Amino acid sequence: MLRSNPVSTCFGQQNQNNHEEAFTAKRRMEPITVYSTSWCPDCRRAKSFLKQHGIAFQEVNIEVDPEAEDIVLRANEGRRRVPTVKVGERFFACSPFNPEQLADELDIPLNR
């Protein structure tokens, strides 16, 4: 029976902790805004995903903020796609909701 080496397990855990700390610091540096609507199921899924991963974000409802709707239209070549996510100065649409795409765009592990 093979047993894991306690030293490598310990170092592996340390590396994981360092990665998570760096990831947490990165999330704090880049503000995230989710442009959404109240009726959108993909918006609810994206916001739930962010909350489950401990990612702070600001939500802007484009139905009550005409300027936000204009931002979404410009970011999506004239299409009103929600959720549209802004990370730092970069925009992307997450519609239909795809957890793999969102994790990839945010550079986070899919499962935590």
Please check whether residues 53 and 2 belong to one and the same domain.
no
Same domain assignment for residues 43 and 89 = yes
Domain range spanning residue 97? 31-106
Helix (H) or strand (E) holding 91: strand 90-93
- Residue 28 has a pLDDT of 52
pLDDT digits (tens, 9 = 90+) for 5-64: 333 333 344 444 555 554 554 545 689 999 999 999 999 999 999 999 999 999 999 999
| Range with lowest mean pLDDT among 20-29, 82-91, 96-105 | 20-29
Say yes or no: 22 and 61 in one domain: no
In a domain, 57, yes or no: yes
Residue 111 lies inside a defined structural domain of this protein: no
pLDDT of residue 85 exceeding 60: yes
Stated as kind and residue range, the H or E segment containing 45 is helix 41-52
Are 57 and 91 found together in one domain?
yes
Report pTM: 0.74
